[in-house]
Amino acid sequence: MSEKAILSGNEAVARGAWEAGATFGSGYPGTPSSEILPALTALGDCYTEWAPNEKCALESAAGASLAGARCLVTMKHVGLNVAADPFFTLSYVGVNGGLVLLDADDPAMHSSQNEQDNRHFARAAKVPVLEPSDSQEAKDFTRLAFEISEQFDTPVMVRTLTRVAHSEGLVELGERTVPTRECGPVRDARKYVMIPAYARARRVFMQERTAKLTAFAEETEINRIEPGSPDIGIITSSVAYQYAREAAPEASFLKLGMTWPLPPGKIRQFAGSVKKLYVVEELDPYLRDQVLALGLAVEELPESLQIGELSPERVAAGLRGGDVAPASNDLPPRPPVLCAGCPHRGVFITLRKLKAFVTGDIGCYTLGTLAPLSALDTCLCMGAGIGEAHGIEMACGEKGKTVAVIGDSTFVHSGITGLVNIAYNGGSSVVVILDNGTTAMTGGQEHPGTGVTLSGRPGRLLDIPGICRAAGIPNVVTVDPRNLEQVESTLKQALESPEAWVIVARCPCILKARPDAFPRVIDEDKCIRCQVCVRIGCPAISTEATDDPRKPQPRIDPVLCTGCNLCAQVCPVSAIGEMEGGACEV
């Protein structure tokens, strides 16, 4: 019997690439895809790296593929927006060594700024898509994707969803087989140089390729009919298949593992074998529209099923023509918050105090927008905060002087070009780089600004203040965000200045380097219950009711407190001090 392991969908994708003999992996962390490259690195025998952004990752993989390597590139759905430029033309160029792009979509936006169905992207770029429905298929399909890639001279997208990426299941492990292909760049301008004359020829090739891929889709076992009752037939893919199997075990299924191009013959055959035909899929009616275009009659499902994640009960309700109302109760919600001891909190407290207009960005510091910090006014996409600050200022002049906040990893990803734009065009925005020395939100990945590579080797450390100076920003200073006085005086100076500023607020992520400090404790005799410490939004500080409903007694949870001392700095009566001993003494 072969060895089995419990793997997440992400670990299984890494295993599939490893078994397929991939020797190059690149990507940028983005939930829910972030764990794939670390897992591939841990398996060994494959060179892996974090790229500054998804475009860089895909372009490097294009080169590695040209040289003959099998390559895996990983990103989340919005990452493909960044990599869209090389993606569309790479479909023309094709591959030498197999190239698989793992795209992870996030229905219900567990940690994303939009809900985006990237099957449309693949279809528009004419790149085949495989959709695994669990961990076993995540491994098998990734492996198969490399074969399809080389057989049909095309990049292949493997599309997962949050529930596939982050759920775990049993996987049968296989051996690694490395294709014997010599490594070295291949000179073939007609294939690799997409000037219009050569691209036109490749466009014809792509049409022929699509026809061949369609024939493959008709015969591949990953598009399979599972016969059941002829009364109800369900066409489905990805995790929606699992929900539908649970919701309607008696039904007949056409389970599509490859969702572009589709197999029209198989779809027609299946539709002809059932009385009522449904299409169950997560996010957009992507499959449904193509089935309708074949002239087949499809039962309508409520449009509300196109929003958010599905579940067995939502699919069951959908087949009955309804949807399940989201659970509601009057319990207090528990929204996400900046961690206790998060160094970004010091910057947000000060920005709120100064009433600055703040253009935000993508990272855990986006949480600075929630009460009680309420110190972030925009969030669009990676790197956009710097561009927005510049635009506001250029449109409104002095009245538009704005503070952009951006994390260190995001700054490298796509903030640098925005900063160059400010310097070049004579803007005077204030950019605060919240430098906690990691890519915190996705789980703490390394990046050029940490000076450590994905495999843990020392890399060239990006000098963040240096690159800002080199871009032409006249004022670049570094502050400690836990020192509120320093943060405030620097921000004030920058906001009053007619020049552009970069303030690097540098302090390690609390999850990366927990300081050796005792928890804080409130001296309740001195405390005037003014609630100022409560309004820094630290999850370690809660309140207990007193006789006066407006003045509950603040308390600090000694287990959650990291001793960052921000609450002591804002306390007007010095009622907060150090607890001797530690968390278990209470």
By CB under 8 A, name the binding residues for another protein: 4, 6, 31, 110-111, 134, 163, 166-170, 239, 242-243, 245-246, 311-313, 324, 327, 329, 331-340, 364, 366-367, 370-372, 440-441, 443, 511, 534-535, 537, 539, 541-543, 557, 559-560, 583-584
| Residue 189 CB neighbour total at 10 angstroms | 9
User: How near is the Cβ of 233 to another protein at its closest, in Å?
Assistant: 18
Give the nearer residue to another protein in terms of CB position, either 14 or 440: 440
User: How near is the Cβ of 170 to another protein at its closest, in Å?
Assistant: 6
Beta bridge partners of 554: 543
Give the nearer residue to another protein in terms of CB position, either 199 or 370: 370
Tokens 């607890």 belong to: 579
Give the nearer residue to another protein in terms of CB position, either 535 or 551: 535
User: How near is the Cβ of 461 to another protein at its closest, in Å?
Assistant: 25
- Nearest-angstrom CA–CA distance, 516 and 13: 38
Give the nearer residue to another protein in terms of CB position, either 91 or 236: 236
| Residue 117 CB neighbour total at 10 angstroms | 18
User: How near is the Cβ of 584 to another protein at its closest, in Å?
Assistant: 4
User: How near is the Cβ of 242 to another protein at its closest, in Å?
Assistant: 5
Torsion of CA 167, 329, 377, 513, to 10 degrees: -50
User: How near is the Cβ of 171 to another protein at its closest, in Å?
Assistant: 10
User: How near is the Cβ of 250 to another protein at its closest, in Å?
Assistant: 13
Residue 579 in 3-state DSSP? coil
- Nearest CA to 235 among 220, 252, 210, 248? 252
- Nearest CA to 99 among 178, 154, 139? 154
- Nearest-angstrom CA–CA distance, 11 and 165: 8
Can you read off the two tokens belonging to residue 540? 């370690």
Tokens 């990291």 belong to: 562
- Nearest-angstrom CA–CA distance, 362 and 158: 25
Strand pairing category for 251-256 and 229-237:
parallel
Give the nearer residue to another protein in terms of CB position, either 110 or 492: 110
User: How near is the Cβ of 32 to another protein at its closest, in Å?
Assistant: 10
Give the nearer residue to another protein in terms of CB position, either 169 or 174: 169
User: How near is the Cβ of 189 to another protein at its closest, in Å?
Assistant: 46
User: How near is the Cβ of 498 to another protein at its closest, in Å?
Assistant: 37
Give the nearer residue to another protein in terms of CB position, either 374 or 478: 374
- In eight-state DSSP terms, residue 412 is I
> Phi and psi for 416 in degrees, rounded to 5?
-60, -45
Q: Where are the alpha helices (DSSP H) in 374-415?
A: 384-396, 408-410
Residue 136 CB contacts under 8 Å (≥ 6 apart), including other chains: 12, 169, 170, 171, 172
- Nearest-angstrom CA–CA distance, 202 and 58: 20
Is residue 286 within 8 A of residue 242, CB to CB? The reply is no
User: How near is the Cβ of 316 to another protein at its closest, in Å?
Assistant: 8
User: How near is the Cβ of 305 to another protein at its closest, in Å?
Assistant: 15
First to last CA, the chain: 52
Residue 548 in 3-state DSSP? coil
Residue 442 CB contacts under 8 Å (≥ 6 apart), including other chains: 29, 30, 31, 34
Can you read off the two tokens belonging to residue 185? 């760049």
Give the nearer residue to another protein in terms of CB position, either 161 or 494: 161
Is residue 417 within 8 A of residue 385, CB to CB? The reply is no
Give the nearer residue to another protein in terms of CB position, either 375 or 392: 375
Q: What's the sign of the alpha-carbon dihedral 122, 127, 131, 135? A: negative
Give the nearer residue to another protein in terms of CB position, either 239 or 494: 239
